[in-house]
Amino acid sequence: MKPDLLKQQAHRAIQKRLGYEFRNMELLQQALTHRSYNAKHNERFEFVGDSILNYSVARMLFDAFPKLSEGELSRMRAALVNEGVLAEIALEMNVGDGLYLGAGELKSGGFRRPSILADAMEAMFAAVSFDADFSAAEKVVRHLFAERVKRADLNIGKKDSKTALQEALQARRFALPKYRIEEQAEQTADAMFVISCDLGELGFICNARGSSRKVAEQKAACEALEWLEQKFPLKKAKKMILQTAFEKMQRPSETIKKVIYKWISKPFCKTSRNTRRIIVAALWPSWVVRMSANPR
Point out the annotated binding site for Mg(2+). 46, 119, 122
Comparing CA positions, the residue from 108, 148, 143 lying closest to residue 17 is: 143
- CA–CA separation, 210 vs 215, rounded Å? 5
> Active-site residue 50, yes or no?
yes
- CA count, 13 A, side-chain hemisphere, 52: 26
Catalytic hit among 72, 105, 122, 131: 122
User: 3-class SS at 203?
Assistant: coil
244-255 burial, b at 16+ Cβ within 10 Å, e below that, comes to ebeeeeeebeee
DSSP 122-189: HHHHHHHHHHS-HHHHHHHHHHHHHHHHHT--GGGGSPPHHHHHHHHHHHTTPPPPEEEEEEE--SST
Could you tell me which residues come within 8 angstroms of residue 58 by beta carbon, excluding any fewer than 6 positions away?
A: 73, 77
Neighbours of 241 (CB within 10 A): 18
Annotated binding site: 46, 119, 122
CA distances 263 to 175, 251, 256, 270, 273, Å, are 25, 19, 11, 11, 14
In the chain, how many H helices and how many E strands?
14, 3
Distance CA 40, CA 29 (A): 9
The three-class DSSP label of residue 210 is strand
How far, in Å, CA of 172 to CA of 158, rounded? Answer: 20
For residue 247, indicate whether it is catalytic: no
**Which residues form the catalytic set?**
50, 122
